[in-house]
Structure 1
Amino acid sequence: MKLERLPSPVLPPAPAAPAKPHVFELHGERIRDDYAWLKAENWKDVLKNPQALDSSIREYLERENAYTAAAFAGTEAFQQRLVAEMRGRIKEDDSSVPQPDGPYSYFTRYREGGQHPLVCRMPRDGGAETIMLDGDKEADGHAFFDLGGADHSPDHRLMVWGSDVKGSEYFTLRVRDLESGENFADEVPHTSGGAVWLNDSSGFYYVELDENHRPVRVRRHMLGTPADQDAVIYEEKDPGFFVKLGVTQSDAFVLIEASDHETSEVYLIDRTDPTATPRLVEPRTPKLQYDVEHHGDSLIILTNADGAEDFKIVTAPVATPGRAHWRDLVPYRPGVMILFVMALARYLVRLERENANPRIVLREIATGREETIAFEEDTYSLGVDPGYEFDTDTIRYRYSSLTTPTEVYDYDLRTAERTLRKRQEVPSGHNPADYVTRRLFATAPDGEQVPISIVHRREIALDGTAPCLLYGYGSYGMSMSASFRTGILSLVDRGFVYAIAHIRGGTEKGWRWYLDGKREKKTNTFTDFIACGEALIAAGYTARGRIVAHGGSAGGMLMGAVANLAPNLFAGIVAEVPFVDVLNTMLDADLPLTPPEWPEWGNPAADEAAFRTILSYSPYDNVKPQAYPAILALAGLTDPRVTYWEPAKWVAKLRSTATGGGPILLRLNMDAGHGGASGRFDRLEEVAIAYTFAIKTVAGFQN
């Protein structure tokens, strides 16, 4: 399995962003930012209308794109071969397993060659399908299209659906008559994309984004009324808290959830009453988190109260839901993190994780009897699909591993019988026996054991010669599942080892694993990742200078940090929508995510210790004169999460400071936001660029 040696043309001179020093002082430190000018003064307008971008900034970004295109010259046919390979592993006319709800079963599917989903239903007992919404048709004429929620009404006559055509995550809601297929005149702009219907289908609740792109306001829209007359049901006054909507599995309550990364607060709205006002469950208390479900006269609450670091489950009366009335149902067990709980009429279903692997635990409410669904592979992914119904004895779950395509099962809670409903098809063929998946542990500098999930072809020699793509994230408590990924086979089948570093900042080993990788302990995330690279080398999986690091968003910050800390460990670094200008972003309270992010990173304006911690690792602020590996930064112009100027500034500073190595490349999608291209096949073209870069770097990316 020899890697193709791809063309490496002689590059033209790289774009040189002019340095326009901007200096400020804070906590006795003088900070100089030569590339602050790349942040457009009218950036809020640019999110809504990309054409509003200042012409001088646009011209510079287009020169960066042209330079990156020159670096990939001669690889176009190879990229298309990668796209064809990855597309060949996708069942183009795929469909989800229909979920029953009353008289119908609802599902999504794709047509052959289609980029966007079709939202469909069919009679529950069989019959012809109805296409309720055709994503390809709605996307026609738009350079970008993202379907938000598509929620049918309780009476099954209507559907409220959201779409974003800029990539900026401002969704407009519309209402469709499912009998005629026509949209009502109702249009609700500037929403988060989803909605929850009133029980009588006369209207719905939604979350409105404010002028800073923050979800802060819950409104109630009654059908046929102008959106500017929608009643405000809840408004969050703290800019550090975001608002979202949910609904209990019982359908009895709409949930308004206000939270940051450490604290949450939940309000209940009686779904049967169009005039209901929110009722608070428990007032927000710093670092108290809780989620709410409902069963009969009780609430089922997942919480970290009373020192339950990995969470426990309590109950409380609906009539008196406050913390004083919480009683343990599933006690806290250190090291066993409860991720999710769902209440059905006769059962509680919870998903929990121990030693980085998940399991499903089923509890019969009447007797307290429990049983567990778990699997034997070293590393795998497991999830529960809640479905629509409450009075049911069937749950649905998904299982996969790095070698096993996704399997969807229905599980009978009475008989413990499991029925395979779908196994992911790989049209071009996939034999799990051709691959090996393993769990390895790296020893961090402080002695912690960091899990690594690995997959490779069975026949490769573990003699330190294989190239490796090492993926990491490590923020917000997000766990990186060891699930089946068809795209990575284009690297693995070329002899790559693919590895996921389950570093601190995630919750793979419980909530403590997250706490040990945030704020003043953030650097553990970076040193864990470097330790994972070293462990892969020591175990013979790869070699120094044969590793390509890959991460996106907060994982892109990880990429920037390890590039500064251990540049000679990596052949290349792929940083997607990289959050690299951490200090400047956390100092700008007008940016959409900044106040809610302070619990994660610290507030450097108000807290000198947080300022000095962030300043010590912020990738942009710590670029230094040294040789850097080849770096590819991928970003989107209308991204409200990681704004386009972060990677643009980073690349400009890297290029002006590095003493060797490289090349340093920026590819900015001028028609997309945080998620990149919106179509499922268009997205493959961006993946192909990243994989082409990975192959070029380990096979000889000539500067």
Structure 2
Amino acid sequence: MNIKLLMGVTLTSFIAMSCSQKTTAPEPPVAKKVKKELTVHGDTRIDNYYWMNQREDPEVIDYLNAENAYTDAMMKHTDDFQTKLFDEMVARIKKTDESVPYKSNGYYYYSRTEGDAEYPLYCRKKGSLDADEEIMLNVPEMAKGYSYFAVGDYSVSEDNKILAFSEDTVSRRKYTIKFKSLVDDQVYTDEIGNNTGGITWASDNKTIFYTIKHPETLLPYKVFKHILGTPTEEDELVYEEKDNTFYTFCYKTKSKKYIIIGSTSTLSAEYRFVEANNPNGKFEIFQARENNLEYGIDHYQGDFYIRTNLEAKNFRLMKTPVSKTEKSNWTEVIPNREDVYLSNFEIFENFLVVGERKNGLNQLRIMNWNGKDEHYLDFGEETYNAGISTNPEFKTDVLRYRYTSLTTPSSTIDYNMVSKEKTIKKQQEVIGDFQKDNYEAKRVWAISEDGTKVPVSLVYRKDKFKKGTNPLWLSAYGSYGSSSDVYFSSVRLSLLDRGFVVATAHVRGGQEMGRYWYEDGKLLKKINTFTDFNACAEFMVSEGFAAKDKVFAWGGSAGGLLMGAISNMRPDLYKGIIAAVPFVDVVTTMLDETIPLTTGEFDEWGNPKDKEYYDYMLSYSPYDNVEVKDYPAMLVTTGLHDSQVQYWEPAKWVAKLRDMKTDKNPLLIKINMDFGHGGASGRFERYHEVALEYAFVLDLVGINE
């Protein structure tokens, strides 16, 4: 039975026929073909599924619903198993829980969850943790009636009386800012729509700065000033970014003395500043943008501190007086080092804390402003993840940092930088019989095809591991300089306890090994990301960490591009591939500057209007390289309202794969009709999709309980 969509077979009849077939699997939807010629640089590509990019078209919705129905039918035999997986994942999560409070401006702020509630309460207490609780935002109540609800940000005025917060009810990351009195719970009538969700208060307790998005591209490009109680249509435009390759945002320095407007692209930055107690003043340029000059700023006493790549591939730290901010006045605090990447910094009254990366691992460096007793924190594990946490207080000797590893649940730790004492404020509680010693974590090194050593972090359950026999779940990201740091996952135990080895390949395109690691996996070197991943998969098999016929790959967003590329390059390596919200139609998307995020990513992928970049992108673009051949089993996920990777990319890709592939392996796509790039918003609801992914791979290796 072929389901010819839009050609006489309705979705209702498809579902009825699928459900009536007791012994044979349903046939998949067959998307109609409408020839579309796309010609650039004298090269013509034929896109038969270009018609799918109309979100409001009933024919498109029918097709997506038919794909969902097919996936449901194909996975129906795992329904009970999915329920079991979901239930065990949720059962490990402490339902009534509370975050570690942090102190800011005389109040302790925290969030807490109650019972089965999908959303948290945001709360505070004045002066002491023994004080009465104030519930600032009751998100479970706010979310009622919405299939999706997310709080983007919240910020309290300096007099502690007014809460500004942002919410998204569609999952397009287009937020609405609202205001609430923390004195009498009055909700103000002021509402500001179509913004990034970020909120920056001036010191007058009535003025905020916010950034709106372009209505078509969704790029954040205008900064406005709103005075509480005035009509939003009268808000003053204080900055407009004219270059559509830059993203604009606002924040306040930790010292609370300056409001900062930032504009950044992949390889360039520009900042403006004004005193926070003078919101009507004119913003001054810190350092005018230059190609390949990246920097970021914060304030301490009479100086700005600058993290920059100025003559420093791995970045260095510099400072300059507030009155002389041009780069000619910058002086060095921490130099560039070939083997250490300077990732971030945090300023305290008596200490400077620096986040660094060396040999692929995070480090925290403690520096006293008096130049004495500089030291690093010791974490004591072979592979881990540590970083600076929430530290709004300036006058404290206590650094709050976060720590986790593949076997250590997420921990919030306070470190006294004078006494050097560590206090674990909270470690994620795993409900059930989890014992850390049952699991073993390792970091190993694969060799890519050009001889580059690529780190792989892996974990397995000791009593389930038998060399050369275990199924493998291998994931990676490898773009934007975003490092795939390891972390503990109680959800992951559902794979580990069933005998899976779970691993992360730290491929080029991330920044684990320093800035060069990123530069070797972007633009005209992007294919290194894909060959690195394939080399890691081969290594895991050759070293006995995985059975040759049980290798599964997972990647999302730009990591979904990676999944698409490896499926074309080396389909023989993988039993199955899961591509979550995958960016797979690279050339067409990067040629369309009306699509959200496109123009800001030319420095990442290249601009295909340049033939050199067009040809290179075309050589790896997953959608353009689908061939008549066998492919692994594949599960693809997307969201109808995704603002980062449009739903039609994975939908078109699946349609083309289904038309051309020669195997009988399952090819499924699940389209979330209510959500966007990040999936469901509830803290438990999101695990339904994880349960589907796990059931898909477990079923392929014959595990169903």
Give the TM-score taking structure 1 as reference length.
0.95
Give SS of 1:628's match.
coil
Q: State how far apart, in whole Å, the 1-side matches of 2:605 and 2:664 are.
A: 31
CA deviation string 1:570-622 (max 9, x = no partner): 111111100000010000011111000110000001x1100000000000000
Q: Aligned pair 1:134/2:138, yes or no?
A: yes
Q: State how far apart, in whole Å, the 2-side matches of 1:303 and 1:437 are.
A: 34
The residue aligned with 2:116 is 113
The residue aligned with 2:9 is none
Post-superposition offset of 1:387: 2.3
The residue aligned with 1:324 is 328
Contact residue 33 and residue 48 of structure 2 kept, 8 A: yes
Q: Percent identity?
A: 39
Counterpart of 1:217, as a letter, is K
Counterpart of 1:249, as a letter, is K
5 Å matches for 1:35-50? 35-40=49-54, 43=55
Q: State how far apart, in whole Å, the 1-side matches of 2:234 and 2:700 are.
A: 56
The residue aligned with 1:3 is none
Post-superposition offset of 1:416: 1.4
Counterpart of 1:237, as a letter, is K
The residue aligned with 2:628 is 625
Q: Aligned pair 1:554/2:568, yes or no?
A: no
CA deviation string 1:97-117 (max 9, x = no partner): 111113210011111111112
The residue aligned with 1:683 is 686
Q: Which moved more, 1:116-125 or 1:156-165?
A: 116-125
Aligned with 1:14 (options 28, 31, 41)? 28
Aligned with 2:102 (options 99, 115, 124)? 99
Q: State how far apart, in whole Å, the 1-side matches of 2:535 and 2:232 are.
A: 53
Contact residue 303 and residue 321 of structure 2 kept, 8 A: yes
The residue aligned with 2:73 is 70
Q: Aligned pair 1:251/2:265, yes or no?
A: no
CA deviation string 1:133-184 (max 9, x = no partner): 0111111000111110011111111111111111111100000111222310
5 Å matches for 1:397-546? 397-546=401-550
* Structure 2: gaps spanning 5 or more residues: 1-21
Q: State how far apart, in whole Å, the 1-side matches of 2:658 and 2:549 are.
A: 20
Q: Which moved more, 1:361-370 or 1:10-19?
A: 361-370
Post-superposition offset of 1:128: 2.0
Contact residue 89 and residue 429 of structure 1 kept, 8 A: no
5 Å matches for 1:99-498? 99-125=102-128, 126-211=130-215, 212-306=217-311, 308-367=312-371, 369-498=373-502
Q: State how far apart, in whole Å, the 2-side matches of 1:9 and 1:15 are.
A: 19
Q: State how far apart, in whole Å, the 2-side matches of 1:182 and 1:582 are.
A: 48
CA deviation string 1:414-441 (max 9, x = no partner): 2212211111101123211000000011
CA deviation string 1:389-419 (max 9, x = no partner): 1122111001110000012111112221221
Q: State how far apart, in whole Å, the 2-side matches of 1:16 and 1:688 are.
A: 27
Higher relative contact order (CA 8 A, sep 6+): 1
* Structure 1: gaps spanning 5 or more residues: 1-7, 44-52
Q: State how far apart, in whole Å, the 1-side matches of 2:576 and 2:24 are.
A: 18
Post-superposition offset of 1:82: 0.8
Q: Which moved more, 1:275-284 or 1:364-373?
A: 364-373
Contact residue 552 and residue 575 of structure 1 kept, 8 A: yes
Contact residue 547 and residue 698 of structure 1 kept, 8 A: no
Contact residue 12 and residue 67 of structure 1 kept, 8 A: yes
Q: State how far apart, in whole Å, the 2-side matches of 1:616 and 1:517 are.
A: 15
Post-superposition offset of 1:485: 1.2
Q: State how far apart, in whole Å, the 1-side matches of 2:443 and 2:32 are.
A: 47
Q: State how far apart, in whole Å, the 2-side matches of 1:182 and 1:483 are.
A: 41
Post-superposition offset of 1:566: 0.8
Contact residue 381 and residue 399 of structure 1 kept, 8 A: yes
Post-superposition offset of 1:625: 0.6
Q: State how far apart, in whole Å, the 1-side matches of 2:288 and 2:664 are.
A: 54
Counterpart of 2:680, as a letter, is A
Contact residue 180 and residue 187 of structure 2 kept, 8 A: yes
Counterpart of 1:20, as a letter, is V
Q: Which moved more, 1:607-616 or 1:372-381?
A: 372-381
Counterpart of 1:285, as a letter, is E
Contact residue 102 and residue 390 of structure 2 kept, 8 A: no
Contact residue 251 and residue 271 of structure 1 kept, 8 A: yes
Contact residue 263 and residue 287 of structure 1 kept, 8 A: yes
Q: Which moved more, 1:77-86 or 1:610-619?
A: 77-86
Q: Aligned pair 1:644/2:643, yes or no?
A: no
Post-superposition offset of 1:233: 1.1
The residue aligned with 1:612 is 615
Counterpart of 2:527, as a letter, is T
Give SS of 2:531's match.
helix
Give SS of 1:305's match.
coil
Counterpart of 2:36, as a letter, is H
Contact residue 581 and residue 645 of structure 2 kept, 8 A: yes
Give SS of 1:429's match.
coil
Q: State how far apart, in whole Å, the 1-side matches of 2:624 and 2:479 are.
A: 20
Give SS of 1:556's match.
helix
Post-superposition offset of 1:130: 1.2
Q: State how far apart, in whole Å, the 1-side matches of 2:340 and 2:372 are.
A: 19
Q: State how far apart, in whole Å, the 1-side matches of 2:23 and 2:250 are.
A: 52
Post-superposition offset of 1:377: 0.9
CA deviation string 1:278-304 (max 9, x = no partner): 111111111111010111111110001
Contact residue 358 and residue 374 of structure 1 kept, 8 A: no
Post-superposition offset of 1:368: 5.1
Q: State how far apart, in whole Å, the 1-side matches of 2:548 and 2:36 are.
A: 38
Q: State how far apart, in whole Å, the 2-side matches of 1:612 and 1:301 are.
A: 38
Contact residue 464 and residue 498 of structure 2 kept, 8 A: no
Q: State how far apart, in whole Å, the 2-side matches of 1:439 and 1:619 are.
A: 30
Counterpart of 2:287, as a letter, is E
Q: State how far apart, in whole Å, the 2-side matches of 1:9 and 1:300 are.
A: 68
Contact residue 89 and residue 486 of structure 1 kept, 8 A: yes
Q: State how far apart, in whole Å, the 2-side matches of 1:601 and 1:324 are.
A: 32
Q: Which moved more, 1:233-242 or 1:82-91?
A: 82-91
The residue aligned with 1:25 is 39
Counterpart of 1:32, as a letter, is I
